[in-house]
Amino acid sequence: MSTAVKERPTKAVRVKRGLVKQREKLFAKLQEINHAIQEAETESAKSEKLTLAKLRAALSWSRVCAVKQIRHLHME
């Protein structure tokens, strides 16, 4: 019975996996934001514009949370 030693993936492979995971997280966040925008637009009157406050409400974000989310996205 032979036991093969598992090699660690190269740094490039690990980095790629990390980037793929990050892309998936960002894509999920983008879908959430797009859904909230569509929801807010359908709920508001046609004459009203979609404001940041309405978007925050649709996402259930407070002002502080919205700022943190934006900063977090810019840092990634």
Into how many domains does the chain fold? Answer: 1
Give the pLDDT of residue 43. Answer: 67
pTM (two decimals) = 0.53
Contacts of 4 (CB under 8 A, 6+ apart): none
Please name the helix (run of DSSP H) or strand (run of DSSP E) that holds residue 66, with its range, or none: helix 63-75
pLDDT at residue 23, as a whole number:
93
Q: What is the pLDDT along the chain (76 residues), one digit of tens a residue?
A: 556 667 777 888 889 999 999 999 999 988 988 888 787 777 665 556 667 777 777 777 776 766 776 677 666 5
Domain that holds residue 36: 12-75
pLDDT value, residue 24: 94
**Does residue 5 lie in a domain region?**
no
In a domain, 20, yes or no: yes
Cα 10 off chain centre by = 27
pLDDT given at position 20: 94
Find out whether 69 and 52 touch, Cβ atoms under 8 Å.
no
